[in-house]
């Protein structure tokens, strides 16, 4: 699961009197960095600007090795560089990639993939005089072996934990045998971890493969000055064509800068120096969108606002392994759920960029999201439940402490104000993101703000947080929630390949979670993209992955 959160709405508060001077310096540095990026090759001439897609990445990219593509800042560039057996379209349908077709034998849990014969690795000296070669099934054997290699320590090794074996039957046939049924498995193979990498390049570059990537993607590696600029060039050997038979990608290059200041990035976007931005930062969100989530009229001529459901649920979690009486009381947990207005929270704190989580834990955009009865704002019911807790425990002064990072302080403070009106005292403990992750995993926080972004497009990924064998540190059940009925349904659902039937199980499990209230769903996130009107073909998908092979740009 992507533990960094959220690209979209963060709090940035400037308090020093030297801000103006500091900010001016940032803008100067930003301009210099962008000039460096634009001078990196002749493709980035102003006369050929329409051939280059530019974006900025706030976070540092640690590696371009797909085995380490665990977060968006790494997944975005590696999406351009590598391919796997299958891929997802913008509607999360699983479609062919290097595998042109496949057959699934449900009785034996065997997946047989037939590979294309026209997929070439990027040209590189590691292939000798030929400079390249075609991808064969043995490349996936090598890539999967590497993913599982403990010496590599890839964070993506878990993707293959349910695999019994895999083998290349011949150059064009790759077979995977599972240990037990797992209907969501094909979706896992679309993850960047499962990309094909060539043995020649990995052995040649060794530990430096992270900055010398060789893949099969629509763009190939050109240059990287870490934390300054990254440039990818069009792959002339790429195997995919559009519907009219024109070879992809359309663009000649991708140029990525690394300005850490989000307001500087916003100004560069408005000035036309970068082509798109992902998300809305608090420092400029009111400037560009209205409180109802519409683009401000002054940008209508130059900017497109693109939004879609994003597979992320923001929530508060209760650690049920605690001895704190308030946390162990289902009545009090339910009171928290009833005690604040999610509609108002999304409208005023997120400018409408999100969906109030008034249903279950499964977010909008996934099969399994259903209009089950969740929690809506009901202060009368919340007061009754708090009174019930007081009566049952004799604790006349109930109190909870919410652990969060500064990025979500505004949300937690809103909940704090609303709950204290009802008679529940709330303390907010603000800690650094890394500390929050560690404390959440070790059960040191009675209540914690968290989020879950889909690793793969199946609701099982969300429900796995509540399966009791997944108690942290062995899995993602941070709440230490246990329900025998839930566990039974979870196991049964793994044996059902028909998604229509499996959705009924997902709905039942989600309803159990809501009834027991081990969590407080806050909102289902929204992917937000600000795109220059010169750019076309840049869609949006529920995982907010960046796909640039169909992007075009006007002069």
* Whole-angstrom distance, CA of residue 54 vs CA of residue 267: 14
92 contacts 309 by C-beta, under 8 angstroms = no
Structural domains of the chain, ranges and CATH numbers in brackets: 1-81+217-302+533-555 (3.40.190.10), 83-209 (3.90.76.10), 310-526 (3.10.105.10)
Q: Coil, strand, or helix at residue 92?
A: coil
How much is the pLDDT for 320?
97
Q: Quick one: which of 373, 371, 394, 386 has its CA closest to 336?
A: 386
84 contacts 195 by C-beta, under 8 angstroms = yes
How much is the pLDDT for 171?
98
Count of other CB atoms within 10 angstroms of residue 291: 12
How much is the pLDDT for 39?
47
* Whole-angstrom distance, CA of residue 437 vs CA of residue 68: 19
Q: Quick one: which of 131, 117, 128, 236 has its CA closest to 173?
A: 117
How much is the pLDDT for 45?
54
355 contacts 345 by C-beta, under 8 angstroms = no
373 contacts 397 by C-beta, under 8 angstroms = no
Q: Coil, strand, or helix at residue 48?
A: helix
Low-confidence stretches of the chain (pLDDT beneath 70)? 1-46, 371
How much is the pLDDT for 125?
96
Task: Find all residues with CB under 8 Å of 270, minimum gap 6, and list them.
Answer: 299, 302
Q: Quick one: which of 427, 515, 513, 410 has its CA closest to 463?
A: 513
Q: Coil, strand, or helix at residue 484?
A: helix
How much is the pLDDT for 497?
86
* Whole-angstrom distance, CA of residue 146 vs CA of residue 160: 11
How much is the pLDDT for 56?
96
Residue 108's Cβ-count burial label (10 Å; 0-12, 13-18, 19+) is exposed
């Amino acid at each position: 699961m992507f533990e960094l959160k959220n690209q979209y709405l963060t709090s940035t508060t400037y308090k020093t009197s030297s801000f103006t001077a500091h900010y001016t310096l940032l803008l100067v540095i930003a301009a210099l960095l962008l000039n460096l990026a634009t001078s990196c090759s002749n493709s980035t001439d102003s006369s050929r600007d329409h051939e280059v897609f530019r974006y900025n990445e706030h976070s540092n990219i640690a590696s371009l090795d797909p085995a380490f593509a665990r977060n968006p800042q790494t997944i975005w560039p590696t999406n351009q560089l590598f391919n796997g057996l299958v891929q997802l379209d913008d509607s999360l349908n699983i479609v062919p990639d290097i595998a042109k077709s496949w057959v699934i034998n449900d009785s034996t849990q065997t997946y047989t993939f037939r590979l294309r014969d026209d997929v070439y690795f990027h040209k590189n000296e590691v292939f000798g005089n030929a400079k390249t070669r075609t991808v064969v099934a043995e490349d996936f054997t090598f890539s999967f072996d590497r993913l599982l290699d403990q010496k590599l320590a890839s964070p993506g090794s878990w993707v293959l934990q349910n695999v019994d074996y895999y083998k290349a039957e011949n150059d064009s046939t790759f077979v995977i045998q599972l240990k037990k049924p797992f209907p969501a498995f094909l979706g896992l193979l679309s993850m960047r971890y499962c990309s094909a990498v060539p043995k020649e390049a990995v052995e040649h570059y060794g530990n430096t493969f992270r900055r010398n990537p060789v893949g099969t993607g629509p763009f190939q590696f050109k240059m990287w000055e870490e934390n300054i600029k990254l440039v990818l060039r069009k792959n002339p050997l790429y195997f995919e064509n559009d519907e009219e038979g024109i070879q992809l990608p359309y663009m000649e290059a991708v140029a990525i800068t690394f300005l850490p200041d989000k307001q500087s990035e916003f100004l560069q976007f408005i000035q036309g120096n970068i082509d798109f931005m992902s998300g809305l930062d608090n420092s400029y969100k009111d400037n560009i969108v209205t409180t109802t989530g519409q683009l401000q009229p002054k940008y209508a001529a130059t900017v497109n606002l693109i939004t879609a459901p994003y597979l992320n649920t923001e929530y508060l979690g209760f650690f049920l392994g605690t001895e704190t009486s308030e946390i162990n009381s289902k009545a009090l947990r339910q009171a928290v759920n009833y005690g604040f207005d999610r509609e108002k929270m999304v409208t005023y704190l997120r400018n409408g960029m999100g969906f109030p989580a008034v249903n279950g834990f499964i977010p909008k955009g996934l099969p399994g999201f259903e209009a089950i009865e969740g929690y809506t704002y009901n202060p009368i019911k919340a007061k009754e439940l708090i009174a019930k807790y007081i009566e049952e425990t004799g604790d006349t002064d109930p109190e909870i402490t919410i652990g969060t990072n500064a990025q979500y302080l505004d949300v937690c403070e809103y909940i704090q104000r609303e709950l204290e009106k009802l008679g529940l005292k709330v303390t907010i403990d603000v800690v650094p993101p890394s500390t929050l992750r560690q404390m959440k995993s070790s059960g040191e926080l009675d209540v914690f703000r968290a989020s879950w972004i889909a690793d793969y497009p199946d609701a099982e990924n969300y429900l796995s947080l509540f399966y009791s064998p997944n108690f942290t540190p062995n899995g993602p059940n941070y709440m230490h929630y246990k329900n025998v009925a839930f566990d039974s349904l979870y196991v049964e659902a793994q044996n059902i390949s028909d998604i229509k039937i499996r959705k009924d199980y997902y709905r039942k499990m989600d309803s159990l979670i809501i009834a027991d209230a081990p969590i407080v769903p806050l909102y289902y996130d929204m992917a937000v993209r600000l795109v220059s009107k010169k750019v076309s073909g840049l869609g949006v998908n529920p995982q907010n992955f960046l796909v640039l092979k169909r992007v075009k740009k006007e002069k």
